[in-house]
Structure 1
């Protein structure tokens, strides 16, 4: 027997079955909330074999939606594809409307931009990507009036900024406004702090009988001094 026959080359199937953990090769979990079928498919196609591997790359909600008894790998694949593509156009229109009408509200700039990017990613996952220029326009259209100055700068900037550049500009403006607000609050506290006002308030807040007793004490002292003087004058008159 030759050396070659004793050590046969591994077949493609042997290599495939040698993969014990499909998640090492397909780290992306197929998720209805993320609408990430196309990305998942590209990662999985190269390593696709057997329905058990398919099940290992699905979220629990997707798995429950497509699980069928005695299904082949081809059946499972077709069911998954239909699940993600059956309402794709409707989903795209709803996400696009949400993106066009989005507003910052009470969110921070980072929270606001994260929401916009998430919607944009969902649209890209279902085959309806948004141009980055439009993404920037949607973002600045939803800002509040306090960002008017930086929005004007963004609109007239050449070349037009990317989404990340716009986010950086808005973040810097937000920090600047926060510092100005902090300085204003500190200055207001310093202007209102006055010791004479505090002392006057303390005196006015004393009980009325305390002020009355003090007044009577001062008056009584004057009368006593007057009485003493009268007694002295009377004594002098007696000698005379």
Structure 2
């Protein structure tokens, strides 16, 4: 059996804002950039399994966890890293979103999927809104083509 690791370099991240500088909120259209930055950051620190899928398996003695991208870690370290990733998520979203997303005893994956559901579930209503906005745009309301294209 492979030895489990009790330390992980993701624990050393003290300022998530240096990598993901802007708070993500419901009013801005920055979901895709936030997701991309967060996936990049979690991939760099080898904790992407905490937000992408439950690929972790616990051995028969329940003392180590093996995920798809890293070597086995102790169950305690796995739980601790999950808490760190959850802190990263909560540190990069607005206070208003925290109230809608966080619930007691959730894992980072639970919160990640909740954010994903909120923003990907409204594709149809967003498409209707954008179509309405587009059809009501009048070219004579803009001084030039560049201003029109920025809408």
**Which TM-score band applies after superposition, normalised by the shorter structure?**
0.5 to 0.7
Counterpart position of 1:99: 134
How many residue pairs get aligned? The number is: 103
Q: Runs (4+) of structure 1 moved beyond 6 Å?
A: none
The SS at the match of 1:97 is helix
Is the CA contact 1:35–1:84 (under 8 Å) kept in the aligned structure 2? no
Counterpart position of 1:77: 112
1:94-173 to structure 2, matched below 5 A, reads 94-103=129-138, 140=139, 142-143=140-141, 163=146
The SS at the match of 1:69 is coil
Alignment partner of 1:60 out of 84, 95, 99: 95
Is the CA contact 1:55–1:63 (under 8 Å) kept in the aligned structure 2? yes
The structure carrying a bigger strand percent of its residues is 2
Q: Which 5+ residue runs of structure 1 have no aligned equivalent?
A: 1-10, 104-139, 148-153, 155-161, 168-240
Task: Give the Cα separation in 2 of the matches to 1:31 and 1:92.
Answer: 19
* Structure 1 residue 64, shift from structure 2 partner: 0.9
Q: Which structure has the greater CA radius of gyration? A: 1
1:13 and 2:8 aligned: yes
1:26 and 2:50 aligned: no
* Structure 1 residue 43, shift from structure 2 partner: 0.4
Task: Give the Cα separation in 1 of the matches to 2:11 and 2:136.
Answer: 50
Answer 1 or 2: higher relative contact order, Cα 8 Å, separation at least 6.
Answer: 2
RMSD: 2.7
The SS at the match of 1:163 is helix
CA displacement, residues 100-158 of structure 1 (integer Å, 9 cap, x when unaligned): 2135xxxxxxxxxxxxxxxxxxxxxxxxxxxxxxxxxxxx2x438xx7xxxxxx7xxxx
* Structure 1 residue 12, shift from structure 2 partner: 8.7
* Structure 1 residue 92, shift from structure 2 partner: 2.0
* Structure 1 residue 90, shift from structure 2 partner: 1.0
Task: Give the Cα separation in 2 of the matches to 1:17 and 1:33.
Answer: 31
Is the CA contact 1:30–1:58 (under 8 Å) kept in the aligned structure 2? yes
Q: Which 5+ residue runs of structure 2 have no aligned equivalent?
A: 1-5, 48-84
Cα 1:12–1:43 change in 2 (3 A) is farther
